[in-house]
Amino acid sequence: MQDTAPNGPQADDKVVLAGQEERKGARADFISSLLLLLIGIFTIIESLRMPRFESWGSYARPGLTPIVVASCLILASLIIFIRSLCNGGYRLNITAAGAAAFCKADMTRRFLFTLFMITLYLLCLGKTHFVVVSVGFLFCMMIYFRASKWWISMAVAFVVAFLTWYLFEKIFLVPLP
């Protein structure tokens, strides 16, 4: 106790932070274990609906291994589920203010932009020439994430997209989308 006394407030902060992390982890475990339980149950139901091919012997049925593995998944998920319940993970504490803060967070915006650009890129692939779509994708990503000045980003995007296309499609004869 003597050793920790001078750092009392800092040590208290650490304990509070560790407690918050633990509660957050328990909430995440609660949700993930529920999802995994659903996946396990769904797998077993689907496997039981598969034909039995009695002439082969019921032990050769296509649903056998999925049932065994899904049972293991359910068992393991149950352990996590019970553990999260014991740690108070069922208290989700979802509030409107918390959800709004999450939506406004820089991390969420960056994540959603990346996802949007990737979706757009995949939608355009195959409909427009690979180099054109790739230059557009690379340039937009580099500009949004402030990689460098716009003309440097444009030059890098063009050089990378063109060289990649030339190397794979013309030299390695690998088809590109």
Binding residues (CB under 8 A) for another protein: these are 25, 28-29, 32, 36, 39, 43, 46-47, 50-51, 53, 56-60, 62-66, 68-70, 72-73, 76-77, 79-80, 106-108, 110-111, 114-115, 118, 121-122, 125-126, 134, 137-138, 141-142, 145-148, 156, 160-161, 164, 168, 172, 174-177
Q: Which is nearer to another protein, 122 or 132 (CB)?
A: 122
Q: How far is the CB of 106 from another protein (least distance, A)?
A: 5
Of the pair 5, 59, the CB lying nearest another protein is at 59
97: which 2 tokens?
């203010």
Decide if 148 contacts 142 (C-beta within 8 A): yes
- Cβ 162 vs Cβ 131: under 8 Å: yes
- List C-alpha distances in Å: 62 to 51, 67, 116, 119: 7, 10, 39, 36
Three-state SS for 128? Answer: strand
